[in-house]
Amino acid sequence: MTHVSIYVLDQARAVDFYTNKLGFKIVTDVPMANDDRWVTVCPPEQPDFEMILSPVTRSVSSPETVAQLKELVAKGAFGVGLFTSNDIFATYEELKAKGVEFTKTPKKEFYGTEAIFKDDSGNWFSLAQLA
CA nearest 111: which of 89, 91, 76, 82? Answer: 82
Phi, psi of 46 (to 5 degrees): -130, 70
pTM beyond 0.75, yes or no: yes
Is the Cβ–Cβ distance between 128 and 88 less than 8 Å?
A: yes
Query: How far is residue 97's CA from residue 108's CA, in Å, rounded to a whole number?
Result: 22
The amino acid occupying position 55 is: P
Q: Per residue in 13-34, pLDDT tens?
A: 999 999 999 999 999 999 998 8
Q: Per residue in 89-99, pLDDT tens?
A: 999 999 999 99
**Superfamily (CATH) of domain 3-130:** 2,3-Dihydroxybiphenyl 1,2-Dioxygenase, domain 1 (3.10.180.10)
Query: How far is residue 31's CA from residue 47's CA, in Å, rounded to a whole number?
Result: 21
Phi, psi of 36 (to 5 degrees): -90, 165
